[in-house]
C-alpha cells in the first residue's frame, strides 16, 4: 500500500503530523476462497484520537502473480472515503465489515488482500498500519522466522516453523536445493544451521495446490575497520584524478555492516561491495572503480542486510512510482527506475559531466531594504511546471520590477503534486520541475536581469522516505511509524504541542547540525542561489511547548546556523518563518537574520473597507514600530499560506450606495490603493504570485471548482489571460510603478517615517522624510488614502508649503499654501505627493511628460503639469481655483442692490466683462473687482488677461431676490397648539398673544389659549411684509365680530368629521340671501358683509354635527 500512497500526495506545510494507530485485525473465517463471504473485525482502534466517530476500510488486492492488482472500486478519495466502506460499530470496542472478495473488488484471480483502517478524511496520517491477508482455503502460514531477512553469525541456527490449513507435503529448499521434506502433516519445524548466506523457500502442497513462503538468512560479514581517508564528505565523492572512480561515505552509528548495491553489481549482495567502517567517525565507506563516465549509474546502501536506502546526500533520486508522470519536456532523458531489481528510492550517479558555465559572474544582490520578493510555486505559475517555463516568463517579472524570486521548496518531496513542504531528500532537486542544469540556467538568467533567487527550504522535518528516518525507526525501515530512540537526527516525539509535521528533526543534535550545514552550503555553492527562507523555524528547538514563548535555546540554534553560513557567504539572505515573540525576533534580526511579517488580515480588512476596532491598522509592518533599527521584517499582504485579498474583496467587501467593493473593477482599484500603502513603506516586501493581477481564486479552491479546506494545497487555475483584462493589467502597471519608485527614489530607504493608519474612518496617511536629500532630490513624501466607502476629507499635514507633485500623475503640481487645508478623497482614492518631481516614471521618450514625444517637441522643458499645444509648447492657463467669486443677492424684492465680486489669486492685468439682464459692462483689475446695483437674474462674467491672446475664462452666475413671507398655520384643537410652516425669510419673529418668539427654522409649534389668539409673523426684512391671524379655540361655533360694520364676518368652527359646511343667510323677513357650501379645512369661514345693508340677519350653519342659527347685526 505504500506504493499506492506515494501517488496521492496531498501534504502541506500545515498538515502531515503522524497519527498512525497500530490496530488488531481478525478475519472470519481465517481461511477463505475469493468467492466466500468474510467478516473483517478490528479492535484496539480509537477513532476519537482522530477527532471522528466513524472509521472506514481502505483496501487493495494482488493478482495471482503476486503483483498489485488495484484498489477497491469503492474506496473513494483519501480525503473523503466512500460511505460504502464504513465499518459497523459493534458497541464493544470492535468494528466489523463484511464482504465477498470477488464482489467487493469486482474481479477474480485474487491472491492477497491488503487493507487498513482510516478516518473518512485520512489526511495527517489518520490511519492504521497496513495489513495483508492471503486468499484461498488452503494456506501456508510461516510463523518463524517473522522477518523476511535474518542476520546470523556463521554456524548459528535459524528456527523454521509453519502450519497449513489442510494436510500437506512440506519441502524446504536452501539456495534452490531441497534440504528437508515432511509429508502428510499440518505443521512443520526445523532448526537449520547456516554457514553461508542462504535463500530459503518452504513449499506446502495438498495435492492440487502449492503454497510457498520465502525468506533469507544473511551470514554477518566481517567488516574491515579502516580510517576514512581525509577530505571526504558524506555521500558521493568523485575521484578528481580518475573519472572511473568514486568513494561513497555513509554516516550510520550503531549499524553493523553496509553493502552498496547498484547497476554495477546487478543489485546483488556482493562481498566486493561491502563497505569499510571507521568506527571513530561512525562512518562506512567504499571506493568504487570501473565506473563509466557521463553515464547513468544507480546505487543504494543495504544497511544490516535489511534496509535499502538511497544516499541521504543524493543530488537526484529515482522513484519507481512517480517518475513515470514526469514528461520528457520537463526532464529529457530521465533514466528509468530499475523495476524488479530493487525497491525504494535509488540514487542517480553520474561522473565527469561537463560543468555548467555560469554566464553572470558579477551579480550584486539587492540591498535588504530594496528587496521586492516574488513568492512563486512553479506548479501553479505555468502549465509546464518547470524551471525552463519560469525562465521564459522572466520578462513579465522583470517588467513588474521584482528583484528577487522566492521559490517554494524544490528539493525532493513525496509525489509530484505538492507545495513541497513534505520534503524527503533535502539535497536532491525534485525532477518534476526539471534538471539540475535547467535550474542553473534559471538562476543564471535571473542574475543577468538583476533578480536574486531565494529558496524555501524545509529543515524542521522530513517524511518517512528520508533515509536518516528509515535507518532508525520502529518499523524496520518502512515509512509510517515512530522514530526510534537511538535516531541521531530526529526526535521521538515533537516537542511542539501545537504544530507537528511528519518526523521532527532534532536541531540540538550534532548530526542534524552537520546535515543542515552541509545542505545550506551545497545549495548556495552548487546552484549559485542567493539565500534561504527557512520554513517553520519556530520548530528549531527541543523546548516543549507551543513555540509561542521566548526561547533562548532556539535563538542559539538559529544563530549557530546563521554564523556557519556567514563563514563562506557573507551576504546570503537568511529569512525565517518564525512568528515568535518580538523580543526573540529582535535578537535574531540583531544578529543579521530577516523574519517574515504576516500582515494579510489588516491589509485585507483595509481593502474590504472595515476599520472598526483597529482591524485595518497595518502599522506593525513598519520595522520602527517593532522597535527595530534595521529593516529586517519581510512584510507581505499575501503569501502561499494566506487567503487571497481579492477573493475576500469580492465576497465580503463593504459598500455604500453605488460604491461596492464586491464589484470587480472597484476591488481591483482598491488593490492599487493597498499597493500605495505597502510598497512605499521602507523595508523589504514580498508579493505572492499573481497578486499583481488581482488573483481571486480561494486558497481552498478545488480542481472541480468547489471550495474546501481539504483542497488547500491542490493545483490552482493558471490565469495568464488576466493580462488581457484592462482592470487587471492596470493593477499590474500600477504596482510596477510603485516598485520603480521604491527602488529608484532614495527617500524610500529613509528611516524617518510615520504611519497614521489606524483611524476608524479608513483615512490613512504615510509621511517620509529624507534629511540627507540635496538639490532636486525628494526630501518629503506624503501619501494620503481613503480606505472607506464614502467620500471623505483628510487633513494632509504636508511637511511644508509650496509646490507639491503627484508622482503617479506625471508629477502634476499642486500649490500648498496651508499644510492643513483638507483634501477631499473619493472612496478608494489616494495620492503620493512629493516636494520635488520624480523622473523615475517619466517616459524617456517624453522627458517633460507633456504627451508630445521628444522628437516632435518644440519646447522640451515644459514644466510638469503644464497644458501644451500640438508642438509641445505651453499654453497659458490658470488653475481653476485662481478666481474666487462672491455673489450677493438683492436684500428685498426689486431693490436692485445685488453685487458680484471677483478676487484673483495670481496678480495679473485682467479685464472682466459682465453681461446679462440688459447689462454689458467691463472693468480692469489686478487682484479684485466689484460690480454693484444688480437686479435679480442671470449673468455671465468673462475674464481675459492682457497680452494673452486666446485666453478667456467665463462663469455663469445668478443673482436672486428674497421670496415674500409665506405662513401656513395648522391648528390642533385637541392639544391647543398651532404649527406654523414658514418660508421666504432667514429669521422669523412670531408675536403670539403679545409674546415674541424668534426662530430660523421652517417649522415651529406653539401653544394656544382656549379662547381667542392673536398671531403676527414677520422677518428681519421689513420689505417682506407681515402675516396676521386670529385663532379661536372653542368646542362651539363662534361668530365674530357681531355686530359687524364692514369687511369679513368670521365663522370659527370646532373640529368636524366632515369638512363641508353649508352656510345660509336670511333677511329678518325670511328671505334667503345666501346658500353656499364651504370647505372648513382651516376651521374658519370668512363672509364679506360689505354688500349687505344695515339690519338684522339670520345665519344658519349646518355641519356634520347639526344645525345652528345665529342673529347677526349689520350696522
Strand ordering across the sheet containing 1106-1114: 1072-1079, 1060-1067, 1095-1103, 1106-1114
Please tell me whether residue 286 adopts helix, strand or coil conformation: strand
Same domain, 564 and 432: yes
Question: Per residue in 137-173, is it b (16+ CB within 10 Å) or e — as a string?
Answer: ebbbbbeebeeebbbbeeeeebebebbbbeebbbbbb
Residue 723 C-alpha cell reads as 493580462
Q: What's residue 1081's pLDDT? A: 64
- Average the pLDDT over 336-350 and give the result: 97
Clarify whether residues 798 and 680 are in a common domain.
yes
* CA neighbor of 554 nearest in space, from 566, 567, 537: 537
Residue recorded with cell 575521484: 239
Confidence of residue 647 (pLDDT cuts 50, 70, 90): very high
| In the block, residue with C-alpha cell 542553473 | 440
Residue 803 has pLDDT above 50, yes or no: yes
User: 720 or 1089: whose pLDDT is higher?
Assistant: 720
Q: Please report the pLDDT score of residue 971 as a whole number.
A: 79
d(CA 18, CA 82): 23
The CATH number of whichever domain residue 412 belongs to comes to: 3.20.20.80
Q: What is the mean pLDDT of residues 329-333?
A: 98
Question: Phi-psi region for residue 528, left (φ > 0), alpha (ψ -120 to 50) or beta?
Answer: left
Domain for residue 1042, yes or no? yes
Same domain for 405 and 548, yes or no, is: yes
pLDDT mean over 148-174: 95
Q: What CATH number is given to the structural domain containing 337? A: 2.60.40
Looking at the chain, the number of H-run helices and the number of E-run strands are: 14, 68
**Is residue 5 very low, low, confident or very high in pLDDT (cuts 50, 70, 90)?**
very low
pLDDT score, position 623: 98
Q: Are residues 984 and 1053 in the same domain?
A: no
If asked whether residues 392 and 438 sit together in one domain, one would say yes
CATH of the domain at 175: 2.60.40.10
| Residues 410 and 552 occupy one common structural domain | yes
pLDDT digits (tens, 9 = 90+) for 726-742: 999 999 999 999 999 99
Do residues 569 and 527 both lie within one domain? yes
354 in any annotated domain: no
Calculate the average pLDDT of the chain. 93
Please report the pLDDT score of residue 588 as a whole number.
Answer: 98
pLDDT of residue 1034: 65
Does the residue 998 lie in any domain?
A: yes
Which of 959, 976, 998 terminates a domain? The answer is: 959
**Greater model confidence, 594 or 1085:** 594
| Interacting residues of 639 by C-beta distance below 8 A, sequence separation 6+ | 375, 596, 598, 600, 686, 688
Residues 383 and 504 in one domain: yes
Q: 857 in a domain, yes or no?
A: no
In a domain, 862, yes or no: no
CA distances from 1001 to 838, 855, 981, 985, 1004 (A): 54, 65, 9, 10, 7
16, pLDDT greater than 70: no
> Per-residue pLDDT averaged across 397-420, rounded?
97
User: Which of 743-757, 790-804, 862-876, 900-914 has the weakest average pLDDT?
Assistant: 862-876
C-alpha 431/C-alpha 1062 separation (Å) is 105
Judged by phi (left if over 0) then psi (alpha if -120 to 50, else beta), residue 235 lies in: left
C-alpha to C-alpha distance for 575 and 466, rounded to whole angstroms:
25
Average pLDDT of 62-88?
Answer: 95
Shared-domain flag, residues 645 and 562: no
Residue 830's nearest CA partner among 679, 1002, 723, 699 is 679
Q: Band the pLDDT of 4: cuts 50, 70, 90.
A: very low
Measure the CA–CA gap between 1114 and 1070, rounded to whole angstroms: 16
**Best CA proximity match to 555, nearest among 595, 522, 517:** 595
800: cell is 511644508
Contact 667, 649 (CB under 8 A): yes
**Cell 550510520 maps to which residue?**
252
Quick check: 479 pLDDT over 60?
A: yes
Choice among 138-147, 337-346, 1097-1106 with the minimum mean pLDDT: 1097-1106
Among 548, 576, 595, residue at a domain's last position: 595
What pLDDT, on the 0 to 100 scale, is given for residue 14? Answer: 35
Q: Report pLDDT digits (tens) over 745-782.
A: 999 999 999 999 999 999 999 999 999 999 999 999 99
CA dihedral 1030→1031→1036→1040, nearest 10 degrees, is: 0
Of the candidates 756, 787, 785, 783, the residue with the CA atom closest to the CA atom of residue 622: 756
Higher pLDDT among residues 280 and 1107, named by residue:
280
**Per-residue pLDDT at 847 exceeds 90:** no
> Rounded to 5 degrees, what are φ and ψ at 827?
-60, 130
Confidence of residue 1035 (pLDDT cuts 50, 70, 90): low
Closest CA relative to residue 413, chosen from 480, 463, 348, 357: 463
pLDDT over 70 at 3, yes or no: no
pLDDT at 921 over 60: yes
- Evaluate if residue 159 carries a pLDDT over 60: yes
Could you tell me the three cell numbers for 599?
500582515
Torsion on CA atoms 503, 508, 509, 514, rounded to nearest 10: 100
Give the predicted TM-score (pTM) of the model: 0.76
Mean pLDDT of 1085-1111: 86
Full domain range(s) for residue 117: 2-134
Q: What whole-number distance in Å separates Cα of residue 787 and Cα of residue 645? A: 14
Does 479 share its domain with 410? yes
The CA–CA distances, whole Å, from 1092 to 67, 1061, 1101 equal 128, 21, 18
Which residue carries 488653475 as its cell? Answer: 879
Q: Within 13 Å of residue 701, how many CA atoms lie on the same side as its CB?
A: 17
CA pair distance 49, 46, nearest whole angstrom: 6
For the segment 591-620, what is each residue's pLDDT rounded down to a tens digit?
999 999 999 999 999 999 999 999 999 999
pLDDT in tens, 250-280: 999 999 999 999 999 999 999 999 999 999 9
Q: What is the CATH number of the domain that holds 755?
A: 2.60.40.1180
pLDDT digits (tens, 9 = 90+) for 490-543: 999 999 988 889 999 999 999 999 999 999 999 999 999 999 999 999 999 999
The tally of domains found in the chain comes to 8
| One domain for residues 506 and 527 | yes
202-214 tens-digit pLDDT: 999 999 999 999 9
- Residue 554 is assigned to a structural domain of this protein: yes
By the 8 A CB rule, do 44 and 92 touch?
A: no
Question: Percent of the chain having pLDDT more than 90?
Answer: 79
CA distances for 509 relative to 506, 515, 554, angstroms = 6, 10, 13
Q: Which of 890, 908, 892, 909 is nearest to 900 (CA)?
A: 890
Least confident of 485-494, 666-675, 1101-1110: 1101-1110
Laid out side by side, the sheet with 937-945 consists of 919-925, 910-916, 937-945, 953-959
CA 474 to the chain's CA centroid: 40
Residue 848 in any domain: the answer is no
Amino acid at each position: 500500500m505504500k506504493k499506492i500512497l506515494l501517488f496521492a500526495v496531498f501534504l502541506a506545510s500545515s498538515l502531515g503530523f503522524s497519527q498512525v494507530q497500530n490496530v488488531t485485525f481478525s478475519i472470519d473465517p481465517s481461511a477463505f476462497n475469493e468467492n466466500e463471504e468474510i467478516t473483517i473485525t478490528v479492535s484496539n482502534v480509537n477513532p476519537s484520537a482522530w477527532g471522528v466517530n466513524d472509521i472506514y476500510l481502505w483496501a487493495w488486492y494482488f493478482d495471482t502473480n503476486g503483483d498489485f492488482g488495484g484498489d477497491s472500486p469503492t474506496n473513494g478519495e483519501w480525503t473523503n472515503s466512500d460511505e460504502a466502506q464504513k465499518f459497523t460499530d459493534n458497541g464493544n470496542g470492535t468494528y466489523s465489515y463484511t464482504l465477498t472478495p470477488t464482489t467487493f473488488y469486482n474481479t477474480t484471480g485474487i491472491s492477497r488482500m491488503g487493507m487498513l483502517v482510516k478516518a473518512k478524511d485520512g489526511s495527517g496520517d489518520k490511519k492504521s498500519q497496513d495489513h495483508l491477508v492471503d486468499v484461498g482455503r488452503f494456506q501456508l502460514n510461516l510463523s518463524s522466522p517473522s522477518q523476511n531477512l535474518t542476520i546470523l553469525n556463521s554456524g548459528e541456527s535459524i528456527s523454521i516453523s509453519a502450519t497449513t490449513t489442510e494436510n500437506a507435503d512440506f519441502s524446504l529448499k536452501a539456495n534452490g536445493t531441497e534440504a528437508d521434506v515432511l509429508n502428510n502433516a499440518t505443521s512443520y519445524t526445523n532448526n537449520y544451521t547456516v554457514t553461508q548466506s542462504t535463500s530459503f523457500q518452504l513449499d506446502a502442497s495438498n495435492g492440487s495446490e502449492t503454497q510457498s513462503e520465502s525468506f533469507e538468512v544473511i551470514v554477518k560479514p566481517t567488516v574491515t575497520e579502516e580510517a576514512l581517508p581525509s577530505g571526504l564528505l558524506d555521500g558521493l565523492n568523485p575521484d578528481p584524478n580518475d573519472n572511473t572512480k568514486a568513494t561513497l561515505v555513509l554516516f550510520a552509528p550503531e549499524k553493523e555492516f553496509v553493502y552498496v548495491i547498484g547497476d554495477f553489481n546487478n543489485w546483488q549482495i556482493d562481498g566486493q561491495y561491502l563497505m569499510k567502517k571507521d568506527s571513530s567517525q561512525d562512518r562506512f565507506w567504499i571506493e568504487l572503480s570501473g565506473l563509466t563516465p557521463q553515464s547513468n549509474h544507480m546505487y543504494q546502501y543495504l544497511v544490516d542486510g535489511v534496509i535499502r536506502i538511497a544516499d541521504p546526500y543524493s543530488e537526484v533520486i529515482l522513484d519507481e512510482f512517480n517518475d513515470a508522470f514526469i514528461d520528457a519536456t520537463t526532464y529529457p532523458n530521465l533514466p528509468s527506475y530499475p523495476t524488479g531489481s530493487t525497491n525504494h528510492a535509488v540514487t542517480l550517479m553520474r561522473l565527469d559531466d561537463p560543468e555548467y558555465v555560469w554566464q553572470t559572474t558579477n551579480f550584486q544582490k539587492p540591498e535588504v531594504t530594496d528587496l521586492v520578493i516574488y513568492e512563486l510555486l512553479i506548479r501553479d505559475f505555468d502549465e509546464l511546471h518547470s524551471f525552463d517555463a519560469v525562465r521564459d516568463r522572466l520578462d513579465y517579472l522583470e517588467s513588474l520590477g521584482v528583484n528577487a524570486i522566492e521559490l517554494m521548496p524544490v528539493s525532493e518531496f513525496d509525489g509530484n503534486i505538492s507545495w513541497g513542504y513534505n520534503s524527503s531528500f533535502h539535497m536532491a532537486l525534485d525532477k518534476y520541475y526539471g534538471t539540475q542544469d535547467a535550474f542553473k540556467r534559471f538562476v543564471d538568467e535571473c542574475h543577468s536581469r538583476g533578480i536574486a533567487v531565494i529558496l524555501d527550504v524545509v529543515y524542521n522535518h522530513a517524511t518517512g522516505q528520508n533515509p536518516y528516518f528509515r535507518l532508525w525507526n520502529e518499523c524496520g525501515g518502512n515509512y509510517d511509524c515512530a522514530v526510534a530512540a537511538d535516531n541521531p537526527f530526529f526526535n521521538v516525539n515533537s516537542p511542539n504541542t501545537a504544530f507537528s509535521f511528519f518526523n521532527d528533526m532534532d536541531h540540538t543534535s550534532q548530526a542534524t547540525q552537520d546535515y543542515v550545514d552541509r545542505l545550506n552550503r551545497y545549495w548556495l555553492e552548487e546552484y549559485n542561489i542567493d539565500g534561504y527562507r527557512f520554513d517553520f523555524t519556530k520548530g528549531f528547538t527541543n523546548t516543549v511547548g507551543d513555540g509561542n514563548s521566548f526561547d533562548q535555546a532556539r535563538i542559539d540554534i538559529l544563530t549557530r546556523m546563521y554564523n556557519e553560513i556567514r563563514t563562506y557567504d557573507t551576504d546570503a539572505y537568511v529569512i525565517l518563518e518564525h512568528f515568535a515573540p518580538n523580543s526573540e525576533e529582535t535578537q535574531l534580526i540583531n544578529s543579521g537574520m530577516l523574519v517574515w511579517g504576516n500582515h494579510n488580515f489588516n491589509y485585507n480588512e483595509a481593502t474590504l473597507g472595515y476599520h472598526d476596532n483597529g482591524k485595518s491598522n497595518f502599522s506593525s509592518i513598519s520595522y520602527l514600530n517593532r522597535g527595530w533599527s534595521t529593516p529586517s521584517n519581510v512584510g507581505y499582504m499575501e503569501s502561499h499560506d494566506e487567503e487571497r485579498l481579492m477573493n475576500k474583496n469580492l465576497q465580503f467587501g463593504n459598500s455604500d450606495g453605488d460604491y461596492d467593493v464586491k464589484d470587480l473593477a472597484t476591488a481591483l482599484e482598491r488593490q492599487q490603493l493597498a499597493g500605495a500603502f505597502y510598497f512605499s513603506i521602507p523595508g523589504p516586501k514580498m508579493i505572492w504570485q499573481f497578486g499583481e493581477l488581482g488573483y481571486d481564486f480561494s486558497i481552498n479552491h478545488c480542481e472541480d471548482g468547489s471550495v474546501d479546506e481539504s483542497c488547500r494545497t491542490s493545483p490552482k487555475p493558471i490565469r495568464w489571460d488576466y493580462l488581457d483584462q484592462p482592470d487587471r493589467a492596470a493593477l499590474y502597471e500600477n504596482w510596477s510603478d510603485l516598485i520603480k519608485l521604491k527602488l529608484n527614489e532614495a527617500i524610500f530607504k529613509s528611516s524617518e517615517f510615520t504611519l497614521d493608519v489606524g483611524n476608524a474612518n479608513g483615512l490613512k496617511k504615510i509621511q517620509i522624510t529624507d534629511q540627507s536629500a540635496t538639490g532636486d532630490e525628494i526630501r518629503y513624501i506624503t501619501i494620503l488614502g481613503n480606505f472607506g466607502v464614502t467620500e471623505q476629507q483628510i487633513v494632509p499635514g504636508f511637511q511644508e508649503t509650496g509646490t507639491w507633485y503627484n508622482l503617479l500623475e506625471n508629477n502634476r503640481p499642486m500649490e500648498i499654501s496651508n499644510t492643513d487645508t483638507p483634501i477631499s478623497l473619493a472612496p478608494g482614492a489616494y495620492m503620493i505627493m512629493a516636494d520635488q518631481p520624480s523622473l523615475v516614471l517619466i517616459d524617456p521618450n517624453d522627458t517633460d511628460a507633456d504627451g508630445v514625444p521628444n522628437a516632435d517637441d518644440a519646447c522640451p522643458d515644459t514644466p510638469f503639469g503644464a497644458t501644451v499645444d500640438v508642438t509641445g509648447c505651453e499654453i497659458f492657463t490658470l488653475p481653476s481655483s485662481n478666481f474666487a467669486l462672491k455673489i450677493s443677492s438683492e436684500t428685498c424684492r426689486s431693490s436692485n442692490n445685488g453685487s458680484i465680486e471677483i478676487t484673483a489669486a495670481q496678480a495679473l492685468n485682467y479685464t472682466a466683462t459682465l453681461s446679462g439682464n440688459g447689462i454689458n459692462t467691463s472693468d480692469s483689475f489686478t487682484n479684485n473687482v466689484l460690480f454693484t446695483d444688480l437686479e435679480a437674474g442671470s449673468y455671465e462674467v468673462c475674464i481675459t488677461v492682457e497680452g494673452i491672446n486666446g485666453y478667456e475664462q467665463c462663469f455663469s452666475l445668478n443673482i436672486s431676490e428674497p421670496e415674500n413671507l409665506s405662513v401656513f398655520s395648522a391648528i390642533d384643537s385637541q392639544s391647543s397648539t398651532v404649527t406654523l410652516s414658514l418660508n421666504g425669510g432667514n429669521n422669523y419673529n412670531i408675536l403670539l398673544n403679545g409674546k415674541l418668539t424668534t426662530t430660523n427654522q421652517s417649522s415651529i409649534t406653539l401653544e394656544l389659549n382656549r379662547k381667542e389668539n392673536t398671531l403676527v409673523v414677520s422677518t428681519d426684512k421689513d420689505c417682506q411684509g407681515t402675516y396676521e391671524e386670529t385663532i379661536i379655540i372653542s368646542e362651539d361655533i363662534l361668530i365674530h365680530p357681531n355686530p359687524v360694520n364692514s369687511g369679513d364676518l368670521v365663522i370659527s368652527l370646532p373640529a368636524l368629521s366632515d369638512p363641508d359646511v353649508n352656510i345660509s343667510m336670511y333677511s329678518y323677513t325670511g328671505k334667503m340671501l345666501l346658500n353656499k357650501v364651504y370647505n372648513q379645512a382651516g376651521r374658519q369661514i370668512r363672509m364679506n358683509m360689505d354688500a349687505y345693508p344695515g339690519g338684522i340677519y339670520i345665519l344658519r350653519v349646518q355641519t356634520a354635527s347639526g344645525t345652528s342659527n345665529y342673529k347677526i347685526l349689520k350696522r
